[in-house]
């Protein structure tokens, strides 16, 4: 049996513990009039599932809930540590170290310049993208206008991969080492690749940020950062 993945690998999801999204989930359910009374209980799923088909509450409140977190993937499967039958019984890197994974061949495909469109977009960017897709209009990433300095990239990585599973000093060193592996004075190392030093009118750091996004979310070689974060 061969598993084929496109646009990402097993390291692409950014799982975290359930409490990392608890407030976002609570606020979302509390905003649904029919379910507000059970927002702090364990009955939230049952309430949402039983909403009448005529209710518009979900469509009205789902986007605010998606745009409140600052991470690239605001809602992802969470680690169900200790929960029997959980999608993620533990962090993937820990499961891998214990040999608890499906031992089947995997063919992981990625697009060369996919990081350019991702570049650590957050949920506000996702909302913008969906709006243009639904309207059939041209889309330009609002993050293309960001001045991607070393500090900005450092902040974006911390936002998307915190809290880490290692001591703070090791976490900081991993981020710094990753960023330092890209020469900021030479945009030709960035994405879109094979375009030389052309920055297309954008911040030179955007090409570096795009390359880093590509390497983390759809890597072609193992990264220490991924092991540390996941």
* Angle ∠(47,50,56) on CA atoms, nearest 5: 95
Read off the pLDDT of residues 61-81 as tens digits, 9 standing for 90 and up: 776 776 666 666 666 777 877
Window from 21-25, 87-91, 112-116 with minimum mean pLDDT:
112-116
Q: Examine residue 63 and state whether it is found in any structural domain, yes or no.
A: no
Q: Examine residue 57 and state whether it is found in any structural domain, yes or no.
A: no
Domain count, the chain: 1
Q: Examine residue 37 and state whether it is found in any structural domain, yes or no.
A: no
Largest CA distance in the chain: 57
Q: Examine residue 49 and state whether it is found in any structural domain, yes or no.
A: no
Partnered with residue 108 across adjacent β-strands are 5
Q: Examine residue 42 and state whether it is found in any structural domain, yes or no.
A: no
pLDDT at 50: 93
Q: Examine residue 190 and state whether it is found in any structural domain, yes or no.
A: yes
pLDDT at 48: 92
> Is residue 229 scored above 50 in pLDDT?
no
Q: Examine residue 38 and state whether it is found in any structural domain, yes or no.
A: no
> 127 pLDDT band (50/70/90 cuts)?
low
Read off the pLDDT of residues 17-33 as tens digits, 9 standing for 90 and up: 777 778 878 888 998 99
pLDDT at 4: 74
Read off the pLDDT of residues 207-218 as tens digits, 9 standing for 90 and up: 888 888 777 766
State percent of the chain over pLDDT 70. Answer: 67
Q: Quick one: tokens of 179?
A: 């960023």
Quote the domain boundaries for residue 198.
Answer: 3-16+76-229
Strand 3-6 relative to strand 106-109: parallel, antiparallel, unpaired? parallel
Give the Å distances, CA to CA, from 184 to 61, 96, 146, 148. 41, 34, 15, 10
pLDDT at 47: 94
Number of neighbouring beta carbons within 10 Å of residue 101: 11
Q: Examine residue 106 and state whether it is found in any structural domain, yes or no.
A: yes
Number of neighbouring beta carbons within 10 Å of residue 78: 19
Number of neighbouring beta carbons within 10 Å of residue 36: 13
> Is residue 152 scored above 70 in pLDDT?
yes
């Amino acid at each position: 049996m061969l598993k084929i993945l496109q646009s990402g690998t097993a390291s692409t999801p950014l799982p975290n513990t359930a409490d990392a999204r608890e407030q976002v989930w609570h606020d979302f359910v509390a905003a649904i009039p029919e379910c507000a009374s059970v927002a702090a209980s364990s009955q939230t799923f049952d309430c949402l599932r039983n909403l009448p088909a005529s209710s518009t509450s979900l469509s009205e409140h789902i986007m605010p809930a998606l745009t409140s977190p600052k991470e690239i993937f605001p809602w992802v499967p969470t680690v169900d540590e200790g929960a029997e039958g959980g999608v993620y019984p533990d962090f993937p890197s820990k499961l891998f170290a214990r040999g608890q994974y499906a031992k089947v061949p995997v063919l992981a495909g990625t697009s060369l310049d996919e990081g350019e469109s991702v570049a650590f977009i957050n949920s506000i960017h996702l909302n913008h993208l969906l709006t243009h897709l639904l309207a059939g209009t041209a889309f330009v990433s609002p993050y293309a206008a960001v001045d991607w300095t070393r500090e900005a990239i450092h902040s974006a990585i911390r936002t998307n991969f915190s809290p880490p599973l290692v001591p703070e000093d090791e976490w900081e060193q991993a981020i710094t080492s990753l960023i330092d592996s890209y020469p900021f004075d030479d945009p030709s190392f960035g994405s879109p690749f094979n375009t030389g030093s052309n920055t297309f009118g954008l911040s030179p750091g955007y090409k570096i940020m795009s390359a880093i996004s590509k390497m983390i979310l759809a890597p072609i070689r193992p990264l220490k950062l991924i092991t540390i974060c996941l």
